[in-house]
């Protein structure tokens, strides 16, 4: 069988596809369990948390953007967003120049829950992190996942990867670690200022 970049056999293709499928399924099972345990105290499910996460990093997003970047059907994105709106964690709006699309934005209450979740993150309760820790101890860094990111880029496109990277860059730039917890820089500065002025 020929490809644009050379040749591969049917056996190679099937073995690669099945390896990725089996590894992804095993990894997802662990991720799902850890993710659900992390967000359970906030009465959220994975889709709801993912919607809050995307809305936060996009500073307001259309339902179609939520669906695209959350890798979910548009009706799933809309239905879970509606539930979050009922809990006053999101608000829906239309833009003056775009009446066709529905946009969502985090409310203050929604942002607080998302930030509380980030602050409550405990690496010792994350199996994937724990599984990668021996590599970090051995090589001084975590796996970079560049090959996986390349595959995802080829499946979902450059826009998906830009949003993916933006969310992690936002965390890098907007958050600091204080006493083993993540906090927004502004909040950390306010706390530091009130401590120094007392």
Transcribe 29-49 into DSSP letters: HHHHHHHHHHHGGGT--HHHH
Q: Domain for residue 19, yes or no? A: yes
Neighbours of 167 (CB within 10 A): 16
Q: Domain for residue 17, yes or no? A: yes
Contacts of 111 (CB under 8 A, 6+ apart): 56
Q: How many helices (H) and strands (E) does the chain have?
A: 9, 7
| Percent of residues, the chain, with pLDDT higher than 70 | 91
Q: Domain for residue 169, yes or no? A: no
- Cα 14–Cα 160–Cα 133 angle in degrees, nearest 5: 70
Q: Domain for residue 45, yes or no? A: yes
- Cα 50–Cα 51–Cα 53 angle in degrees, nearest 5: 60
39: domain CATH number is 1.10.10.10
- Per-residue pLDDT band for 3 (boundaries 50, 70, 90) equals low
Q: Domain for residue 188, yes or no? A: no
* pLDDT tens digits for range 61-104: 999 999 999 999 999 999 999 999 999 999 998 877 777 888 99
Q: Which of the two residues, 1 and 118, has the higher pLDDT score? A: 118
Q: Domain for residue 180, yes or no? A: no
Q: Is the pLDDT of residue 5 over 60?
A: no
- Per-residue pLDDT band for 189 (boundaries 50, 70, 90) equals low
* pLDDT tens digits for range 96-133: 777 788 899 999 999 999 999 999 999 999 999 999 99
Q: Is the pLDDT of residue 135 over 90?
A: yes
Where b means 16+ CB within 10 Å and e means fewer, 111-132 reads bebbbebbeeeeeeebeeeeee
Q: Report the pLDDT value the prediction gives residue 195, as an integer from 0 to 100.
A: 58
- Per-residue pLDDT band for 171 (boundaries 50, 70, 90) equals confident
pTM of the shown model: 0.82
Q: Which of 110, 106, 108, 8 is nearest to 58 (CA)?
A: 106
Q: Which of the two residues, 58 and 187, has the higher pLDDT score? A: 58
Q: Domain for residue 8, yes or no? A: yes
Question: Residue range 165-184: average pLDDT?
Answer: 85
Number of domains comprising the chain = 1
Q: Which domain holds residue 11?
A: 2-143
Q: Domain for residue 35, yes or no? A: yes
């Amino acid at each position: 069988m020929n490809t644009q970049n050379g040749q591969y056999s049917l056996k190679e293709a099937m073995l690669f596809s099945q390896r990725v499928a089996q590894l992804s399924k095993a990894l997802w099972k662990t991720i799902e369990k850890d993710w659900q345990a992390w967000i359970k105290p906030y009465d959220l499910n994975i889709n709801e948390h993912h919607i809050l996460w995307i809305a936060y990093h996009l500073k307001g997003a259309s339902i179609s953007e939520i669906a695209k970047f959350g890798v979910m059907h548009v009706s799933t994105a809309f239905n879970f967003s509606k539930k979050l709106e009922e809990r006053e964690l999101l608000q829906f709006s239309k833009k003056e120049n775009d009446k066709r699309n529905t946009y969502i934005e985090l409310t203050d209450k929604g942002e607080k829950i998302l930030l509380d979740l980030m602050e409550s993150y405990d690496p010792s309760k994350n199996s994937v992190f724990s599984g990668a820790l021996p590599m970090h101890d051995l090589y001084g860094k975590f796996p970079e996942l560049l090959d996986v990111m390349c595959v995802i880029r080829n499946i979902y496109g450059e826009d998906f990867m830009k949003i993916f990277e933006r969310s992690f860059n936002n965390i890098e730039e907007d958050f600091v670690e204080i006493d083993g917890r993540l906090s927004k820089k502004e909040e950390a500065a306010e706390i530091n200022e009130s401590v120094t002025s007392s």
